[in-house]
Structure 1
Amino acid sequence: MKEREKFSSRLGFILISAGCAIGLGNVWRFPYVVGQYGGALFVLIYLFFLVVLGAPIMTMEFSVGRASQKSAALAFQTLQTKGKVWNWLGKFQMLGNYVLMMFYTTVGGWMLSYFIKMIKGDFVGITPQQVESIFNNSLQDPLLQVFWMVVVVALGFGICSLGLQNGVEKITKIMMSSLLVIILILVIRAVTLPGGSEGLSFYLIPNFDAIKQYGLLEIIFAAMGQAFFTLSLGIGAIAIFGSYIDKNRRLFGETISVCTLDTLVALLSGLIIFPACFAFGVNPGSGPGLVFITLPSIFNEMWLGQVWGTLFFVFMSFAALSTIIAVFENIISFGMDLFNWSRKKAVIINLILIMVLSLPCALGFNILSDFAPFGAGSTIQDLEDFLVTYNFLPLGSLAYLIFCTCRYGWGFDNFIKEANTGKGIKFPKWTRVYLKYVLPCVIIFIFIQGYYSFFIK
């Protein structure tokens, strides 16, 4: 039996795990939700839920990965050989990785294409309406959409093909370190803009009027959802990195490091977006419109705007690629674990498979735009995003939770023993009742709330 590859350093493990968790939602959703629901008030509630909701499940994913030395494909049945239900859960989580990459690769392509546009100066001296038409026209060009998707897929698998240490770890370290430097440069530029202080006040000072406007419960639910979804939990994309580390460190401390990095990037994104939007009198919306229409228009108005815009889209490309590389690594490990494929074979087969599976999303804005799964204006991307966000992530997280606390699974004692092996911060044993009875109810609530907000609200 081949010995499992390992990370060369603890820093590599933390940066790659954080890279997986740090996605585009940190940039285009978090600042908007913070602003909408009361600024610092929302952030405090969010941080509370990150600790009580996200951190335990991330620790469980790391523990299952490290104890089994396998990807999600075989991790459950390696640790619990009785009952086929755990085997099926592994397959469910595998599927979640593929569905996530079916649309994330296209969005990653948008980031790279905008980085090139910024370098070329395509946005220099044009109106916000023209910026919007550039984005809309690119969506309607099937060749362009497919081209950039293929570039992202080839880039991601190319890095993974170099191996865990020489490819995934080395490149992600460079990207994540660069991402943190770039984001700090952009923050300094944004907060020093004339009028930017208003944006800072809006973002950082608790706004208790939001409680009157939305009600405390809605703010709590929004913070709970953001804390839960920000870490990419439930599909084994985090667990795989647990299988690549040694037993020198306790896993709760590693989880806290990853959560801190993820939150830092999300908070710093707000320090770029709000001062910039307020300085130029623009409404800080959410989603693709913010990144591809609002911000390029703002960079246009800035001194050296082309430089800041280029830096911003390098940052966005790195945020997208770090997640894509992490999930590709997980997908490659499925083939290596299940079929004993070499890394090269797993890369080639999945490269072709992901390119084919990503086509519906890339073509969903043009050739396949008549297919509107949720009614007029919806796209294939909306369907794929819905499947991951509202199904694979919460149900997969619930599976880890039950597996690590139930005697028919791996059991709490085994989980605690694995999590607390090594030195560092201990995972508290007194959480047993909370993890076994309270947290599953919270996740079921988030699952139901997700469907309610998507279909009824």
Structure 2
Amino acid sequence: MKKREKFSSRFGFILISAGCAIGLGNVWRFPYITGKYGGAAFVLLYLFLLLILGLPIMVMEFAVGRASQKSVAGSFEVLEPKGSKWHLYKYFALSGNYLLMMFYTTIAGWMLIYFFKTLAGGFAGLNIEQVAAVYDATTSDPWLSAAAMLFVVALGMFIVSRGLRNGVEKVSKFMMSALLLIMVLLAIRSLTLPNAMAGLAFYLKPDFGKLFEYNLSEVIFAAMGQAFFTLSLGIGALAIFGSYIDKERSLLGESISITLLDTFVALVSGLIIFPACFAFGVNPDSGFGLIFVTLPNIFNNMPLGQLWGGLFFIFLFFAALTTIIAVFENIVSCFTDLFNWSRKKSVLINMIGIMILSMPCLLGFSVWSHIQPLFGGSIMGLEDFLISNNLLPLGSLLYLMFCVSRYGWGWQNFLAEANTGKGLKFPAVFHFYLKWILPLIVLFIFIQGYLPYFK
């Protein structure tokens, strides 16, 4: 049997796992909902929920990966009781990885296009309506969007083809280090703008009254949703990296380091966005509008705006590409585990497959824009709904039950694996909470995700 590759360092494991968790939602969604629901008061609630919701399931994913030494395609078969059917989830997990990449690669392509447009002065002198028109023209141009998406897929798969240490680890270390450096530079620049302190106060001054301006259950669900989905749990995208690490360190401490890095990126994104918005009298809004319309207008009014705008979009591209590389590595490993293919063969076949499967999302903004599944939403919206509202919560629930139930891997086996090595130990006292309470919370998140579609 071919010996499994390992990370060259603990630092590499933490950076790459954090790169998988850190994505575009950290940049546009977290700052928006933080400002909406009370700034620092909401952050405190979010951090508490991140600790009790996301962190235990992250430890479980890593434990399943490390104990089995397999991707999600084979991990359950190695660990499950004989005759049980937990391993059937591998097909849903693999589908989740594909679904995520079917729209994520298109968005990453747009980030790359905007990087070059900004550096070339493509937004100079444009008003907000004209900037919005550039966004519409970019997304509705199937040839330009396709070229960018195909480049992103080819680049990500080329990096994965180089192997774990020489490709995935080496490139992810560079990109994550560059991402963190660019973020700090952008935050410093944003905080030195006129009236930046008003934006900082809006973002970070605790206002517990705002928690009650809205329905409290709405605020709690918003914090739950962000805490739960920010770590990309439930589809084996993190478990694969558990299979690449040794047993020198216990898994709780490593998971906390990754969670802190993910949270740092989300918090610093707010330090970039809110002071800049307040400096130029712009209301920060959610989603694509913030990234592709609001921020280019801000950079237009900023001295050396082309430089700062270019840095911002390359930072976004790196945030997207680190996630893409991590998920590609999981997909490629799944196929090598399932069919005993070589890495090169798995890369080639999956590269072609993802290029083809990403086309509906991309074309959904142009020649297929008339196709509006899911109550009039876009094809991208449907793909996002399937992964975010279904496979992530249900997959997390499955990992959770597999690790705490005697009909799965079992609590004692999980605890022994999680606590092997130096570092923080996973508290055994949480067994009752993890077996009976956390599953209900995950189900609540799953059900809440459907409620807007019935209103």
**TM-score range for the pair, normalised by the shorter chain length:** over 0.9
**Could you tell me which amino acid in structure 2 is paired with residue 448 of structure 1?**
I
Deviations along 1:212-268, one digit per CA (max 9) or x if unpaired, are 320322211111111001000000000000000000000000000000000000000
Equivalent residue number for residue 388 of structure 1: 387
Residues 12-91 of structure 1 mapped to structure 2, 5 A cutoff? 12-91=12-91
Equivalent residue number for residue 411 of structure 1: 410
Q: Tell me if 1:420 matches 2:423.
A: no
Equivalent residue number for residue 308 of structure 1: 308
Residues 68-217 of structure 1 mapped to structure 2, 5 A cutoff? 68-217=68-217
Distance across 2 between alignment mates of 1:49 and 1:85: 31
Equivalent residue number for residue 226 of structure 1: 226
Structure 1 residue ranges (4+ consecutive) displaced by more than 4 angstroms after TM superposition: none
Equivalent residue number for residue 434 of structure 1: 433
Equivalent residue number for residue 449 of structure 1: 448
Structure 1: 5+ residue runs without aligned partners?
none
Deviations along 1:167-200, one digit per CA (max 9) or x if unpaired, are 0000000000000000000000001100111100
TM-superposed CA distance for 1:382, in Å, is 0.2
Equivalent residue number for residue 401 of structure 2: 402
Equivalent residue number for residue 367 of structure 2: 367
TM-superposed CA distance for 1:31, in Å, is 0.2
Distance across 1 between alignment mates of 2:413 and 2:212: 46
Residues 321-336 of structure 1 mapped to structure 2, 5 A cutoff? 321-336=321-336
Residues 68 and 243 of structure 2 are in contact (CA less than 8 Å); yes or no, is this contact kept in structure 1?
A: yes
Number of residue-to-residue matches in the alignment = 455
TM-superposed CA distance for 1:82, in Å, is 2.1
Distance across 2 between alignment mates of 1:406 and 1:428: 17
TM-superposed CA distance for 1:129, in Å, is 1.1
TM-superposed CA distance for 1:209, in Å, is 3.2
Residues 249 and 422 of structure 2 are in contact (CA less than 8 Å); yes or no, is this contact kept in structure 1?
A: yes
TM-score (norm 2): 0.99
**Could you tell me which amino acid in structure 2 is paired with residue 456 of structure 1?**
F
Structure 2: 5+ residue runs without aligned partners?
none
Equivalent residue number for residue 248 of structure 1: 248
Equivalent residue number for residue 271 of structure 1: 271
Distance across 1 between alignment mates of 2:361 and 2:312: 25
Q: What is the DSSP-based 3-state SS (H/G/I as helix, E as strand, rest coil) of the residue aligned with 2:143?
A: helix
**Could you tell me which amino acid in structure 1 is paired with residue 50 of structure 2?**
L
TM-superposed CA distance for 1:456, in Å, is 3.2
Distance across 2 between alignment mates of 1:129 and 1:387: 33
TM-superposed CA distance for 1:124, in Å, is 1.3
Q: What is the DSSP-based 3-state SS (H/G/I as helix, E as strand, rest coil) of the residue aligned with 2:432?
A: helix
**Could you tell me which amino acid in structure 1 is paired with residue 5 of structure 2?**
E
Q: What is the DSSP-based 3-state SS (H/G/I as helix, E as strand, rest coil) of the residue aligned with 1:29?
A: helix
Distance across 1 between alignment mates of 2:422 and 2:87: 32
Deviations along 1:406-444, one digit per CA (max 9) or x if unpaired, are 111000000000000000010101010011100000000
Deviations along 1:296-344, one digit per CA (max 9) or x if unpaired, are 0100000010110011011100000000000000000011101111000
Distance across 2 between alignment mates of 1:375 and 1:439: 31
Could you say what the CA RMSD is over the residues aligned between the two structures, in angstroms?
0.9
Distance across 2 between alignment mates of 1:102 and 1:83: 34
**Could you tell me which amino acid in structure 2 is paired with residue 241 of structure 1?**
F
Distance across 1 between alignment mates of 2:173 and 2:31: 25
Residues 341-360 of structure 1 mapped to structure 2, 5 A cutoff? 341-360=341-360
Distance across 1 between alignment mates of 2:84 and 2:430: 28
Deviations along 1:94-149, one digit per CA (max 9) or x if unpaired, are 11101111111101101111111112111112111111101101111111111111
Distance across 1 between alignment mates of 2:390 and 2:292: 28
Distance across 1 between alignment mates of 2:171 and 2:385: 30
Q: What is the DSSP-based 3-state SS (H/G/I as helix, E as strand, rest coil) of the residue aligned with 1:214?
A: coil
TM-score (norm 1): 0.98
TM-superposed CA distance for 1:81, in Å, is 4.6
Distance across 2 between alignment mates of 1:225 and 1:102: 22
Q: What is the DSSP-based 3-state SS (H/G/I as helix, E as strand, rest coil) of the residue aligned with 2:253?
A: helix
Deviations along 1:350-399, one digit per CA (max 9) or x if unpaired, are 000000000000101011111101234x2100000000100010000000
